[in-house]
Structure formats: structure tokens, C-alpha cells
Amino acid sequence: MPSCPRRAPATGRRAEAHAAQWLADRGWKILGRNVRIGHLEIDIVAQLDDVVSVVEVRARGPGAWRRALDSVDVAKQSRLRAAARQLWDTRWCHDPSIRVVRFDIVVVDFGPGDVVTVDWVQGAFQ
């Protein structure tokens, strides 16, 4: 089976911008975008009250071969866990305002006619 074509980096940046704005509109404080921890990267880190969300953003269009959620495989989850662990150890473990760190996925779908839909899976994996 041929591999799926990769989305252009501009599409990913556009999806991340939509996701960050969507979260901010719902009261989340965006702590960082494209947060680098060594060779690891987190698309968005956001906080609401005592919850910090490590957010993976996925973009899909009408021609996608697989669902966006399916693209966050075990290897990607492992990398996100490692990045979050490093952030916890270096930044958050002594911050009493943070009680929970969770992993969310935000899927941004660019449909026909410039229609953008956002789906948010809270606590997508542990």
C-alpha cells in the first residue's frame, strides 16, 4: 500500500493556530506552542485551573486515508509521555497550582468551503 502524502508544514501550523485559539476561547491559558524538550516536541501546552494539558494537534482533510486519532500511535504517545515527564520534573513538580497533567488530542478538519471543525478528545491516553 502506498504511504499517505504528508501535509505541508503550513497546514500543520494553521491547524495548531486554530487549536490554540479554540482552546483559548474556552478559557485555557496557552503556556506554549511547539514546546521543545531536547529532541521531543509538544504541539500545545495549555492550563485551565489546576489541569495542564499536553495537546497533540492533528489536521485532516477530505482525502485522508486514516482517521486523525489513529495517527497518534503508541510510539507518538510514548514520545509525548517522555516530553511531559521531563516538563514535570523540570518545571511543574514543585508548582502547587498544577494537580493534573493529561494528554489531549485536538483534530482540526479543513473541509470544503473553508469550513473548519475542531474535535477535542480530553484524556485521549494515559
Question: What is the Cα–Cα distance from 66 to 5, expressed in whole angstroms?
Answer: 12
- Predicted pLDDT of residue 10: 80
Mean pLDDT by 10-residue block, N- to C-terminus, for the chain (126 residues)? 53 92 98 94 96 93 70 93 94 89 94 86 92
Instruction: Calculate the alpha carbon distances from 33 to 14, 30, 42, 57, 115 in Å.
Output: 12, 8, 7, 11, 24
Convert the pLDDT of each residue in 1-33 to its tens digit.
Answer: 344 445 557 888 999 999 999 999 999 999 999
Question: What is the Cα–Cα distance from 40 to 82, expressed in whole angstroms?
Answer: 8
The pTM for the full model equals 0.86
Q: CB-based contacts of 21: which residues, under 8 Å, 6+ apart?
A: none
Name the one residue in this structure whose C-alpha cell is 515527564: 85
CATH level 3 topology of 9-125: Trna Endonuclease; Chain: A, domain 1 (3.40.1350)
Q: Where are the domains of the chain?
A: 9-125
